[in-house]
Amino acid sequence: MQSLKTGAEALRIPLTSEHLTALRKYQEALQTWNEQFNLTAITDDEGIQIRHFLDSLSCLLALEAGERFSGQRIIDVGTGAGFPGLPLKLLCPGIRLTLIEATAKKVTFLEHIIDQLGLDDVIARHERAETLGQDPRHRARYDWALARAVADLPILVEYLLPLVKIGGRVLAQKGEDAPAEVQRADWAIRHLGGRVRKLVPVHLHGLAETRHLVLIDKVAATPEKYPRRPGIPAKRPLTAP
C-alpha cells in the first residue's frame, strides 16, 4: 500500500496500520469481484490506491479547522464500488453512512464489502437519487451529500441539494473543469437552496491533473418540485429562465 501511504502523507492525512489493513482487504475484494463484474475500469494496485482510495480520502481536505465528519449523517450518491463513502467511513467510523447506487451488481458488492470490513451504521441502497429526494425519510435529512464522477454540476446539484437539510452541505468531487462547472451551475444552485462556499484544489500523488472539491452550503429549502422524476435532470438540466 506504499502508493497510498505516500499520497496520504503528502495530503497530511494520517493512516494507521489498521486503516491500511482494511483498505488492502477492500482492494483485494474489488480486484477479485471485478474479474466477474464490471465494477471499475481501474484495477491495478496503484490506480486503486490513488484514484479510488486517496481521491476519496481527499474529501477530508474540505473540512474547516476543528471540523469532523464523525457523528454526521452522510449520503454518498452514485457511489459505484463505494467511493468516496467507504474509505471515509474507515477513517471516520462515527459516520452514519448511506450509499446510493443505481446498478444492482454494485450494490451486491457494497453489501459484501460492508460485511467483510465489519462496518456499522452503513446502508447500501439500490435506488435513484431523484426518487430518494422525494422520499420524506430522506429528503432534507442529511448533514452532507457527497458525489464523485456522477454528472455535470448543473445536473448533480438537483440530485444532492434536496437530500441535505438546511445548514448541511454538498461536496462534489470534480476535475480541472470545476470552476467552469460551478459557473454553469450557479443559477441551479441558488434556485435549489444552495450557495457555493468554496472550491478546494487537490493534488494527488502521481497524478498530473488538478482535482477540486466543490463545497455548497444548503441555505434555504429546495422547492418541492425538485428533484424531478428519474432521468429528467440529466435530459433537461436546470438553467436560468
Q: Give pTM, 2 decimals.
A: 0.95
Domain span holding position 151: 2-235
Q: Which helix (H) or strand (E) holds 199?
A: strand 194-202
- What CATH number does the domain containing 104 carry? 3.40.50.150
Decide: 222 and 192 in contact? Cβ < 8 Å: yes
Decide: 171 and 144 in contact? Cβ < 8 Å: yes
Is 240 within a domain?
A: no
For 195-233, the pLDDT digits (tens) are 999 999 999 988 889 999 999 999 999 999 999 999 999
For 92-136, the pLDDT digits (tens) are 999 999 999 999 999 999 999 999 999 999 999 999 999 999 999
Q: What is the pLDDT of residue 65?
A: 66
Q: What is the pLDDT of residue 71?
A: 87
Instruction: Please check the confidence at residue 69 and state whether its pLDDT lies above 90.
Output: no
Q: What is the pLDDT of residue 43?
A: 83
Is 102 within a domain?
A: yes
How many separate domains does the chain show? 1
Q: What is the pLDDT of residue 166?
A: 98
